[in-house]
């Protein structure tokens, strides 16, 4: 099948970071951002019309800047590749600092790979026509 490689200008997820999301140093816990990446990637995978997916892999995720309480975090997710049973999504995470409207930083970028599965959890082919 030939997936759409058009970039989505809208974030798959946008959320304000709260005190409950912090690590021991008071900045945002990396696992929180990984969770958002996973969710955003899955949303992008569903946009091609595939119903049930699980995450099989997440490729290198380097945190370049801290995320702070009150930051508005946007996850931009674009499908890079559709394989036989898998969908590869690039997720870019941007933190908008509300105290400075001109300041947005790219916190990290990662590739997440999802597999289309049946009810028993076995990989199944992504059928022609599942693309939106």
How far apart (Å, rounded) are the C-alpha atoms in residues 132 and 120? 25
As a 3-state breakdown, the chain gives helix, strand, coil percent values, each rounded to 5, of: 15, 35, 45
Binding of residue 124 to ligand COA (CB under 6 A)? no
Closer of 86 and 104 to ligand COA (Cβ): 86
Least separation in angstroms between CB 123 and ligand COA: 4
Closer of 26 and 125 to ligand COA (Cβ): 125
DSSP string covering 56-118: EEE------S---TT-EEEEEEEEEEE-SSEEEEEEEEEEE-TTSTT-EEEEEEEEEEEEEB-
Closer of 64 and 122 to ligand COA (Cβ): 122
Binding of residue 55 to ligand COA (CB under 6 A)? yes
Binding of residue 22 to ligand COA (CB under 6 A)? no
The closest alpha carbon to 39, from 18, 59, 53, 22, belongs to 53
Least separation in angstroms between CB 21 and ligand COA: 20
Site for ligand COA, rule CB under 6 A: 54-57, 83-86, 113, 115, 117, 121, 123
């Amino acid at each position: 099948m030939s997936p759409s490689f058009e970039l989505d200008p809208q974030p798959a997820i946008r959320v304000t970071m709260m005190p409950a999301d912090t690590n021991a140093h008071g900045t945002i816990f990396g696992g929180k951002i990984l969770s958002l990446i996973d969710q955003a990637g899955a949303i992008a995978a569903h946009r091609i019309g595939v119903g049930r997916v699980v995450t099989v892999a997440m490729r290198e995720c380097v945190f370049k800047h801290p995320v702070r309480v009150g930051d508005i975090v946007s996850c931009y997710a674009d499908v890079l590749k559709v394989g036989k049973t898998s969908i590869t999504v690039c997720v870019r995470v941007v933190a908008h600092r509300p105290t400075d409207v001109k300041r947005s930083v790219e916190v990290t970028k990662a590739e997440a790979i999802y597999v289309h599965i049946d009810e028993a959890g076995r990989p199944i082919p992504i059928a022609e026509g599942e693309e939106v």
